[in-house]
Amino acid sequence: MHKRSMKHATVVITGATSGIGRAIAMEFAAAKANLVLAARNEDNLRDIVQECIRQGAHAVSVPTDVSELDAMEKLAAMAEAAFEGPIAVWINNAGIGTFGEFSETPLEAHVQVVKTNLIGYMNGCFAVLPYFKKARTGVIINMNSSGAFVPMPFASGYSASKFGLLGFMEALRGELIHDTNIHVCDIYPYFVNTPGFRHAGNYMGVTLKPLPLTIESEVVAQAVFALAQSPRAQTTLGWPTYAARVAYTLFPGLTRSLTGQFLRAYFQTAVPSPQTEGTIFESKREIGRSSGTPSAVAHLPALKPLVSKPMILGAAGLAAVGLGVFLATRSKSRAKLSGKMKSEIDDPSVRTLSENDDYPLYERLQGSQIAKA
């Protein structure tokens, strides 16, 4: 497939001032893209715009709250008019989270997470799609996570947003099946080493840190840039995401239980700290950073090994074993059920429904598709 050039292409990035968004902005700036950067804090936006300009890119900022449709439509209109060409790439990246037991976390905190992580992405797609349909081309890239495949106990609002985003994007791709030059791309990284843990709403009363084996923001940014050049529907980063996805597909109850026990034990051993709403309701002035804790956690290797054939084959092997166990178990269950049904049919005391029975249900089924079948 021919790779699209990003030089002078108009690229919109939400959540551009910190973490993954900042790394994405710098990645596209290095390619001399025309950048329209959006986030809530105007001062933080000014900083990242200047950094991108120093890289040789053209960049403008648009203070934006992604949870507000009017703000996103304004962002799309300004991006379309900012440079000579139309919007080429729209990156929905803004994201927040909370940690805490569901009933002990303010409901408005859960709602804010869903408004940002799900409604914000819907707003972005709603705002930009008219421009893409007019131009008959465009790429939407959505930052999802491994949380779209495996539920996160103690982060239920986050799980709701990510599971919902997965469903929304699958449905949207189905609607756009005939718009062959409009691409909807999702990226699912494992835990990323960003300042997001410091920004999160913390209702656990302990210090939040990234779990071991994180991915660097720059690795995710490289994957996003690759999608902009050669779009595809889904990209998964990090072998733990593959493993967790397979495990939850085959053994949802066990995976859910182990995840909950692990996180509970993790929080019980963490250093106590005051509860805080973080930046979920209001952004704060800060020095922009892509990484969270530079030396505190182990990191996964770079992008290429993350999608290696051995990893994919290993996941497929695990899936095959699990499928075999599932089919064997189901065959035994069917055999038991078949034997039970046969014994009931042979038993004259067991009545069956017939047209001679005075059952309104049977009459209603007459002539229906169910009865005809």
Q: What is the pLDDT of residues 328-350, one digit of tens each?
A: 444 454 555 455 545 544 554 44
pLDDT number for residue 371: 36
Q: Which of 97-106, 155-164, 191-200, 311-320 has the lowest mean pLDDT?
A: 311-320
Q: Tokens in use for 191?
A: 């835990």
d(CA 124, CA 140): 9
Q: Does 360 score more than 90 pLDDT?
A: no
Taking residues 88-98, report their average pLDDT: 96
pLDDT digits (tens, 9 = 90+) for 238-257: 888 899 899 999 999 999 99
Q: How many CA atoms lie within 13 A of 284 on its CB side?
A: 12
pLDDT at residue 310 is higher than 50: no
Q: Which CATH number fits domain 10-303: 3.40.50.300, 2.40.50.140, 3.40.50.720, 3.40.50.2020?
A: 3.40.50.720
**At residue 23, does pLDDT exceed 60?**
yes
Q: What is the percentage of the chain residues whose pLDDT exceeds 90?
A: 63
193-222 average pLDDT score: 87
Q: With CA atoms as reference, report the closest residue to 69 among 13, 34, 120, 106.
A: 120
How high is the mean pLDDT of the chain? Answer: 82
Hey, where are the domains in the chain? Answer: 10-303, 323-372
Mean pLDDT confidence for 40-64: 96
How confident is the model over 138-159, as pLDDT tens digits? 999 999 999 999 999 999 999 9
Residue at token pair 């493993």 = 243
Cα(35)–Cα(53) distance, integer angstroms: 9
Q: Which residues pair with 27 in a beta bridge?
A: none
pLDDT digits (tens, 9 = 90+) for 160-180: 999 999 999 999 999 999 999
Catalytic residues: 158
